[in-house]
Structure 1
Amino acid sequence: MTSKLDSPPPYEDAVHHPKSGNYPYQPQHDSHLPPPPSYSPGFTPSGMPTTIPTLTLWFCVCGQVYLILTAQLAVTFSIVAVFTFVDPVRLFVIRYPGIYWASLYYETKAVFLAMGITALVCVAVTIFCFQTKVDFTSCGGLLSIAAVLLMIIGIVTAVVLSFQYVPWLHMLYAAIGAVVYTLFLVYNTQLLIGNRELAISPEEYIYGALSLYVDIVHIFLFILQVSGSATD
């Protein structure tokens, strides 16, 4: 129930005198009302910065991505170490030419050299992505064209090398492949970091880890071909 003072005015009074009565309450323009609260960019009304959850989420996503990537690389290089240092396995691979050529088997020196160069490239790319202002996420079309050209060069190189092995041609193709996948590593790292034209969603951390893993493995394989040809 409501009191008489709180009840609305009659219909006739409300139609002919819409501002009469005390219902609904119409604030006057000259009334001293408190100003609306002011909000600073990046802060909530309580004064807490709104970037804290974003930064926390970003660190969680990056941590998950690099944790998965570390596990993938650890498993991969453990398998490489088995085929490199366990003599029965290494001799078994050498004994069968099909497995030998399918495994791209190289000397231990070349493998370690490729691993070291790949690690340096990955660290340099990560530091570069944090420091540079160049947005590589907007260059997806150019990277796709570079990948297609790399595939064409690879087919031509395979045809030529099947007739006669040309060391400099093999090393040139491997060097081009290492450069192309280094650019892909820059692209995918900036997608993970964010603050660019394109960025991956926090729910896509598995996709981010797989993308970085594929790029690093391809860089390692191409550098291994260069170092293996150089040490032969």
Structure 2
Amino acid sequence: MAQPGYMGPNSFGEDAYPGTFDFTEQSIRRGFIRKVYSILMCQLLVTMGVIALFIFHEPTKVFVRNNSYLFWIAFVVLFVCLIAMACCTELRRQTPVNFIFLAIFTCAQSFLLGVTASVYDASEVMIAVGITAAVCLGLTLFAFQTKFDFTVMGGALVAASMILLVFGILAIIFRSNIINMLYAAAGALIFSLYLVYDTQLMMGGKHKYSISPEEYIFAALNLYLDIVNIFLFILTIIGMSK
């Protein structure tokens, strides 16, 4: 089963601006960051609730397995919303349309994650959640305090994503546990770098590139996809190790 959201979010189009764009007021930057993380926390809470429903409520798991068309409907909805928000600047800046699209996208992504998580043991999912939370917290703190500018790495990360995509196709063809494990490890590493990259884009300041404060939906979407992909790859590694 194909995992949703494996492509790097910035490969769809990055509304980033050169370092000449500055948050001239500290209050503007703090307000932007607070808004992004507030939206992100709501997304993650919804996602965790849906995943918990799938792994702890057996009737839900059975119902979805008996109605597999729901997976494909959610996948199409996810793809349409993602393309719309990534490619249509006005759509993701216009309230409340941007929140509606983000909410639909989050629900679709949460459903797909719930279906994916349901094939693993609850203990494996909880371990993956804990590791993902620790990794993302550590990377976020690192992104905020490091003097190294990761925003210049956009091209390299897109190239790495393309290589990962090819690697994933080879993993499907050859079906080797070693290849699958290497693929998952490489994916977790690449999207960890994406998380640092997107965090620094959001921070602005002295970094070469930054995201406009109007792009809080796009910033939250990027961070959410980074975390989701890190979780999926870590869950894959844990599941294969057992």
Q: Shared fold by TM > 0.5?
A: yes
Q: 2:67, 2:123 → 1: CA distance?
A: 22
Equivalent residues in 2 for 1:33-182 (5 A)? Answer: 54-93=25-64, 103-104=115-116, 105-161=119-175, 166-182=176-192
1:194 and 2:165 correspond: no
Query: What's the counterpart of residue 229 of structure 1?
Result: 240
Matches of 1:229 and 1:97 in 2, distance apart?
24
Q: CA deviation at 1:53?
A: 6.7
Alpha-carbon separation, structure 2, partners of 1:123 and 1:134: 18
Tell me how far apart the structure 1 counterparts of residues 149 and 23 of structure 2 sit (CA, whole Å): 24
Distance 1:85 1:185 in 2: 29
Q: CA deviation at 1:54?
A: 1.1
Query: How far, CA to CA, are the matches of 2:124 and 2:133 in structure 1?
Result: 14
Please state whether the residue corresponding to 1:199 is helix, strand or coil: strand
> Aligned pair 1:214/2:225, yes or no?
yes
Change in CA separation of 1:199 and 1:53 when aligned onto 2, cut-off 3 Å: closer
**Runs of 5+ consecutive residues of structure 2 not aligned to the other structure:** 1-21, 72-111
Matches of 1:207 and 1:130, distance apart in 2: 19
Q: CA deviation at 1:90?
A: 2.6
State the AA in 1 paired with 2:198. Answer: N
Q: Does the Cα contact within 8 Å between 2:23 and 2:29 map onto a contact in 1? A: no
1:91 Cα shift?
3.5
**Greater share of helix:** 2
Counterpart of 2:100 in structure 1 is none
Write the distance in 1 (CA, Å) between the matches of 2:195 and 2:23.
Answer: 28
Q: Give, as a single letter, the amino acid of the residue that structure 2 aligns with 1:174.
A: A
What is the percentage of aligned positions where both structures have the same residue? Answer: 43
Q: SS of the residue aligned with 1:134?
A: coil
- Report deviation, 1:182: 0.5
Q: Which residue pairs with 1:27 in the alignment?
A: none
Determine the C-alpha separation between the residues in 1 that align with 2:226 and 2:219. 11
User: CA contact under 8 A between 2:23 and 2:204: conserved in structure 1?
Assistant: no
TM-score w.r.t. structure 1 length? 0.71
In 2, distance between residues paired with 1:155 and 1:73?
Answer: 29
Gaps of 5+ in 1: 1-50
Which stretches of structure 1, 4 residues or longer, exceed 2 Å deviation after superposition? 90-100
Q: TM-score, normalised by structure 2?
A: 0.68
Measured after TM superposition, the shift of residue 98 of structure 1 is 8.6
What is the aligned partner in structure 1 of residue 214 from structure 2?
A: 203
Using the alignment, how far apart are the partners of 2:173 and 2:32 within structure 1?
43
Residues 145-178 of structure 1: per-residue CA shift (max 9 Å, x gap): 10110001001111112xxxx2222111111101
How many aligned positions are there? 176
